[in-house]
Chains A and B, each alone.
Chain A
Amino acid sequence: CSRRGKKKKLIMEVMFQYSLILFAFSVQAHKEGNPQKLLEMNGHTAVPHSYDYDLIVIGGGSGGLAAAKEAAKYEKKVMVLDFVTPTPLGNSWGLGGTCVNVGCIPKKLMHQAALLGQALQDSRKFGWQFPEEVKHNWMTMTESVQNYIGSLNWGYRVALREKKVTYENAYGEFVQPHTVKATNKRGVEKLYTAERFLIATGERPRYLGIPGDKEYCISSDDLFSLPYCPGKTLVVGASYVALECAGFLAGLGLDVTVMVRSILLRGFDQDMANKIGEYMEEHGIKFIREFVPIKVEQIEEGTPGRLKVTAKSTKGNEVIEGEYNTVLLAIGRDACTRKIGLDKVGVKINEKTGKIPVNDMEQTNVPYIYAIGDILQDRLELTPVAIQAGRLLVQRLYGGATTKCDYVNVPTTVFTPLEYGACGYSEENAIQKFGEENIEVYHSHFWPLEWTVPSRDNNKCYAKIICNIRDNERVIGFHVLGPNAGEVTQGFAAAIKCGLTKEQLDSTIGIHPVCAEYTRPHNNFLCSSCYLSLTKN
């Protein structure tokens, strides 16, 4: 009853705000008019029914939306605040977060466009005949991709409405305990209170901090909706975002160079990372290694224009220059945690990285504030992880569940031209953790049957399995480079979850002929006699 009263009061306030546009005054009134709130400074002992919402989620990405929808299932009063701060070049997007708008979805679709380019070449070898000249139209692709994303944005809004989750396209920041201020595009501010909060604001691409970077460079936040073909492109960075983007741009026929400061795919198995790099190089992508840009200048405006990039060696004083149409920065991502008023409520962040440390229940140091997704310290930055964490968290909060999110053996795939799927330990981490003498690595090159007829890329696909000798040769790492690596890796991840051992692997019958069964390394052209057989390192 008191809750309903509260709601009514808020609505009236909102109307008041709108009608008189006496915004600041209204906020003031709201604050002062609720002395009770101030008494609850120390949070979790809150009196029930005294907040606007049971849960306010800040950030409408994969994790935040999953959590909000799950909470609504328990008939909780939930609000989602989502706001996309435009990129330095002014690009912004709809509800759904990074994955849907500027991440997994558009990148996989553009990767698919590139794969289809390869398919066109292959198809001639399989008897298809069509006129020689085939060109790619960037705008056709981008519009199709953006239309699909638009439908997803809409789908999320409908889903929230159906589940009776309140959605506001407004920037949320903490102003005092249990209270956030939501600022919309037009600068209108509102205050909302909740018993609990979930921070799921994710990350945004990092800039170099050199002359010309924000003025002239783009990031992955811009690329997928770029209203013109990027032309000759310099990709700065060696993260998976960098390599994936470089990969599909080259696959669409563009001249692509990747500038790498040190190693490729930090954190991934380096043996695999180097193989990915080699394959990309063989497929026409240029790599400039151990250089970092120090200046970007515009030579000519246009769509695309012309840019001059000056870069300096990381080893000495050598300076090089290059001319590109587009410079894409993919040097890392920063957590969106520094401008959401965490200091006002006392949520600790790692000052260096901006990430939020949480316990194994996704709880921050402030008990009523939780966090999930890419902003977490020492957790994986993956959509399905954020979704899983969000759902499980809500089930624990409102459903009496006890299951915690299991961050172990999470599979992932890098959609480079030759896809890379992985689950579990990298070889170097396994050695570090268990000791070289306690691990055994089985590996094999293989040649997908479909590649034999176009006779391309023999000996490029590769798989390896890392086993712990001390534990019955249990599989602790799985790595595969090849077509459809994501589809292949998923099931293996499930098997690893079930405690897969090398012996069980050996006794499982392959499906013939697919890549997920492996060829024998020494007679690898004989794809036909393949069976799940990997030999030791």
Chain B
Amino acid sequence: MAALWRRRRRLLGAAGLCRTARALSGKPEYDLLVIGGGSGGLACAKEAAQFGRKVAVLDYVEPSPQGTKWGLGGTCVNVGCIPKKLMHQAALLGSALKDAQHYGWNIAHPVHHNWSEMAQAVQNYVKSLNWGHRIQLQDKKVKYFNVKGSFSDPHTIRGLTKGGKETILTAEKIVIATGGRPKYPIHVAGALEYGITSDDLFWLKESPGKTLVVGASYISLECAGFLTGIGLDTTVMMRSIPLRGFDQQMASLVTEYMESYGTKFLKKCIPTKVEKLESNRLQVTWKNTDSGTEETDSFDTVMWAVGRAPDTKALNLETVGVKTNSETGKIIVDASEATSVPHIYAVGDITEGRPELTPTAIAAGKLLAQRLFGQSSELMDYDNVPTTVFTPLEYGCVGLSEEKAVQCYGSDNIEVYHAYYKPLEFTVAERDATQCYMKMVCLREREQRILGLHFIGPNAGEVIQGFALGIKCGATYPQLMKTIGIHPTCAEEITKLHITKRSGLDATVTGC
């Protein structure tokens, strides 16, 4: 990297000269303007600044309908990955308290969980990250504006502060990275008025109490999972299938485990109205599409997790002609993240057809800055992106789902190796491992290239990460079988997969 640094410094000199020339000729004020200070936007801005460019970031959080707002850093830091993983950890520690007794720790009862204390700790950490992001921008000489930006012409952004003060900013290149926000089912009476979303949950000062989570997305299941884990009465209402887009066998195992863990499920149900009772509780009415009956129950909190919508409304994209997908509202980009307007780009959750994941947004933002200012031509590779769902029993995957592989290659041409295993730590803790399962989807031809890897169990994220690298390197089934295991871990079972689904043999791992 030393060499790289040297090269960058040289570029910095050249850029300085270039800027002086532009200032004299009345060119735009900034080389790059990024709208949206989330994972992708910040990464792109900071990377561009490394090349000595004049960069500004505009970030503004429109308060949620319940009035929740937060600092710099976007969804991941404030209302996404970070608080959710920390609350997931709180729930895991709840299981650890139970396990610990089997391992000889004498814990006197009662044991209970204090929401406020957890939320305070999580929020403090998130605030430290907000602060950290601001310092980083300062260090890198990226100008930060806490304003809501909208296009007034292709090179000009009009920024409005909370107080209504206007700032006009001009830039040669503009990156849109405004992300998405949770959707409300506005056709459901009382939804907007009484419901919350993931934008609010992590910032609640008091325990949400008995909670109904509506939706079957990963956000829904993750939130319902940790709420159950910290001891709350939690119900998930789902219209059709869980974890759409994920491997469905794995998705069923995830929800099966949650059911045994104590999360209640209302399947094939659609909410119709939410009313507030005198007791301040919320009465939810729904239709069971299976039986056709109408049912009702009361909850302390109703959380919508029915999907996310891109945040493009305020941007005034029509003025400059940036094309969006009329159905999803997302911005259409090419392989170089360019929109229909050549000097305007977009990264992250706002872009059409891209995975909505922090690390992809970061990588895309960085690579974009490198192409724009660093003479790079490297494009973002959106294939084989690993991901993990932090449900009570975690699910990590990379590559194709089994159904997708069947669809692409035909079931005769793929081989699925699978195993049910028991994590060593579950034995003494007397925990049920029925859903601890993994499968590897390979091509059936001689080389047996791996198309997808799916793992359910503790630390799934940590397990999958390295294998994702292997798959990036074109890993084949025989190569994985030549990899020696690390004993005793869960990940080692992946290197020992030998039962094919086709064989119909029992896939339960026994012994060491």
Interface residues of A (CB under 8 A from B): 62, 96, 99-100, 104-105, 108-109, 112-113, 116-117, 119-120, 122-123, 125-131, 133-142, 144-145, 148, 152, 155-156, 159, 252, 382-385, 387-388, 406, 410-413, 421, 442, 449-450, 452-453, 484, 486-495, 497-501, 504-505, 507-517, 523, 525-529, 531, 535-536
Q: Which residues of A contact B483 (CB under 8 A)?
A: 411, 490, 493-494, 497
CA distance A141 to B105 in the complex (A): 8
Q: Which residues of B contact A127 (CB under 8 A)?
A: 90, 113-119, 121, 230
**A99 in contact with B486 (CB, 8 Å):** no
Task: Give 13 A-B contacts (CB < 8 Å), ordered by A residue.
Answer: A120-B100, A126-B121, A129-B113, A159-B510, A450-B85, A487-B490, A488-B462, A494-B495, A495-B466, A495-B475, A501-B473, A508-B472, A514-B465
Among residues of B, the one whose C-beta sits closest to the C-beta of A450 is B89
Counting CB contacts under 8 A, is B129 at the interface?
yes
**A134 in contact with B511 (CB, 8 Å):** no
**A508 in contact with B462 (CB, 8 Å):** no
Task: Find A130's partner among B108, B425, B472 (CB 8 Å cutoff).
Answer: B108
**A123 in contact with B93 (CB, 8 Å):** yes
**A494 in contact with B479 (CB, 8 Å):** yes
CA distance A486 to B489 in the complex (A): 6
Q: Which 9 A-B pairs have the closest CB atoms?
A: A491-B466, A127-B118, A141-B104, A516-B465, A490-B491, A514-B461, A495-B469, A491-B467, A492-B466
Q: Which residues of B contact A152 (CB under 8 A)?
A: 511-512
CA distance A288 to B89 in the complex (A): 37
Among residues of A, the one whose C-beta sits closest to the C-beta of B78 is A528
Counting CB contacts under 8 A, is B241 at the interface?
no
State the Cβ distance, A518 to closest chain B Cβ, in Å.
Answer: 10
**A514 in contact with B113 (CB, 8 Å):** no
Among residues of B, the one whose C-beta sits closest to the C-beta of A389 is B484
CA distance A92 to B381 in the complex (A): 56
CA distance A385 to B487 in the complex (A): 10
Q: Which residues of B contact A513 (CB under 8 A)?
A: 81-82, 85
State the Cβ distance, B476 to closest chain A Cβ, in Å.
Answer: 8
Given contacts A384-B484, A498-B475, 19 further A-B contacts (CB under 8 A): A108-B488, A109-B425, A112-B103, A116-B103, A119-B97, A125-B121, A127-B90, A128-B93, A133-B108, A138-B104, A488-B466, A500-B473, A505-B469, A507-B472, A508-B386, A511-B386, A514-B388, A528-B77, A531-B43
Counting CB contacts under 8 A, is B358 at the interface?
yes
B108-157 interface with A by 8 A CB criterion = 108-119, 121-122, 125, 128-129, 132-133, 136
State the Cβ distance, B443 to closest chain A Cβ, in Å.
Answer: 15
**B473 in contact with A495 (CB, 8 Å):** yes
Among residues of A, the one whose C-beta sits closest to the C-beta of B103 is A113
Q: Which residues of B contact A494 (CB under 8 A)?
A: 466-467, 469-470, 475, 479-480, 483, 494-495
**A490 in contact with B492 (CB, 8 Å):** yes
CA distance A21 to B167 in the complex (A): 104
Q: Which residues of A contact B82 (CB under 8 A)?
A: 449, 513, 527-528
Counting CB contacts under 8 A, is B73 at the interface?
yes
Q: When A127-B115, A141-B104, A511-B396 are in contact, do A484 and B473 touch as well, CB less than 8 Å?
A: no
Task: Find B495's partner among A490, A525, A527 (CB 8 Å cutoff).
Answer: A490
Counting CB contacts under 8 A, is B301 at the interface?
no
Counting CB contacts under 8 A, is B374 at the interface?
no
Counting CB contacts under 8 A, is B428 at the interface?
yes
Stretch of B209-217, B289-297, B359-367, B408-416 on the interface side? B359-367
Among residues of A, the one whose C-beta sits closest to the C-beta of B382 is A509
Task: Find B464's partner among A113, A489, A491 (CB 8 Å cutoff).
Answer: A491
Q: Which residues of B contact A155 (CB under 8 A)?
A: 510-511
Q: Which residues of B contact A499 (CB under 8 A)?
A: 473
Task: Find A509's partner among B93, B106, B385, B396 (CB 8 Å cutoff).
Answer: B385
Counting CB contacts under 8 A, is B61 at the interface?
no
State the Cβ distance, B61 to closest chain A Cβ, in Å.
Answer: 16
Q: Which residues of A contact B114 (CB under 8 A)?
A: 127-129
**B512 in contact with A383 (CB, 8 Å):** yes
State the Cβ distance, B266 to closest chain A Cβ, in Å.
Answer: 27
Q: Which residues of B contact A411 (CB under 8 A)?
A: 483-486
Counting CB contacts under 8 A, is B170 at the interface?
no
**B388 in contact with A511 (CB, 8 Å):** yes
Among residues of A, the one whose C-beta sits closest to the C-beta of B428 is A144
CA distance A515 to B466 in the complex (A): 11
Q: Which residues of B contact A156 (CB under 8 A)?
A: 511
Among residues of A, the one whose C-beta sits closest to the C-beta of B207 is A127
Q: When A133-B108, A450-B86 are in contact, do A536 and B1 touch as well, CB less than 8 Å?
A: yes
CA distance A3 to B97 in the complex (A): 59
Counting CB contacts under 8 A, is B190 at the interface?
no
Interface size grouping (class) on chain B:
35 or more
Among residues of A, the one whose C-beta sits closest to the C-beta of B476 is A498
**A123 in contact with B97 (CB, 8 Å):** yes
B314-365 interface with A by 8 A CB criterion = 357-360, 362-363
State the Cβ distance, A165 to closest chain B Cβ, in Å.
Answer: 14
Counting CB contacts under 8 A, is B99 at the interface?
yes
CA distance A498 to B107 in the complex (A): 47
Interface residues of A, dominant DSSP: helix
Q: Which residues of B contact A140 (CB under 8 A)?
A: 102-104
Q: Which residues of B contact A535 (CB under 8 A)?
A: 1
State the Cβ distance, B444 to closest chain A Cβ, in Å.
Answer: 19
State the Cβ distance, A46 to closest chain B Cβ, in Å.
Answer: 32
Q: When A128-B111, A159-B511 are in contact, do A509 and B90 touch as well, CB less than 8 Å?
A: no
Q: Which residues of A contact B474 (CB under 8 A)?
A: 498
CA distance A531 to B93 in the complex (A): 26
Task: Find A144's partner among B103, B464, B473, B494 (CB 8 Å cutoff).
Answer: B103
Q: Which residues of A contact B388 (CB under 8 A)?
A: 511, 514
**A529 in contact with B472 (CB, 8 Å):** no
Counting CB contacts under 8 A, is B507 at the interface?
no
CA distance A304 to B482 in the complex (A): 46
Q: Which residues of B contact A497 (CB under 8 A)?
A: 470, 475, 479-480, 482-483
Among residues of B, the one whose C-beta sits closest to the C-beta of A147 is B428
Counting CB contacts under 8 A, is B368 at the interface?
no
Question: Looking at A145, A152, A516, which has the most chain B CB atoms within 10 Å of its CB?
Answer: A516
State the Cβ distance, B437 to closest chain A Cβ, in Å.
Answer: 16
**B428 in contact with A112 (CB, 8 Å):** yes
**A136 in contact with B104 (CB, 8 Å):** yes
Task: Find A511's partner among B103, B111, B461, B511 (CB 8 Å cutoff).
Answer: B461
CA distance A159 to B428 in the complex (A): 22
**A130 in contact with B111 (CB, 8 Å):** yes
Counting CB contacts under 8 A, is B372 at the interface?
no
State the Cβ distance, A505 to closest chain B Cβ, in Å.
Answer: 6
**A122 in contact with B475 (CB, 8 Å):** no
CA distance A501 to B63 in the complex (A): 45
State the Cβ distance, B494 to closest chain A Cβ, in Å.
Answer: 7
Q: Which residues of B contact A525 (CB under 8 A)?
A: 128, 132
CA distance A122 to B94 in the complex (A): 11
Q: Which residues of A contact B85 (CB under 8 A)?
A: 449-450, 513
State the Cβ distance, A54 to closest chain B Cβ, in Å.
Answer: 23
**B489 in contact with A145 (CB, 8 Å):** no
State the Cβ distance, A315 to closest chain B Cβ, in Å.
Answer: 37
Q: Which residues of A contact B39 (CB under 8 A)?
A: 528-529
Counting CB contacts under 8 A, is B168 at the interface?
no
Q: Which residues of B contact A507 (CB under 8 A)?
A: 381, 472
**B424 in contact with A131 (CB, 8 Å):** no
Counting CB contacts under 8 A, is B76 at the interface?
yes
Among residues of B, the one whose C-beta sits closest to the C-beta of A422 is B486
Q: Which residues of A contact B385 (CB under 8 A)?
A: 509
**A495 in contact with B94 (CB, 8 Å):** no
**A108 in contact with B486 (CB, 8 Å):** no
CA distance A449 to B479 in the complex (A): 32
CA distance A82 to B100 in the complex (A): 35
Task: Find B487's partner among A96, A129, A383 (CB 8 Å cutoff).
Answer: A383
Counting CB contacts under 8 A, is B463 at the interface?
yes
**B104 in contact with A144 (CB, 8 Å):** yes
Task: Find B468's partner among A120, A159, A509, A515 (CB 8 Å cutoff).
Answer: A509
Contact pattern, B 201-230, Cβ under 8 Å of A = 1, otherwise 0: 000000000000000000000000000001
**A486 in contact with B90 (CB, 8 Å):** no
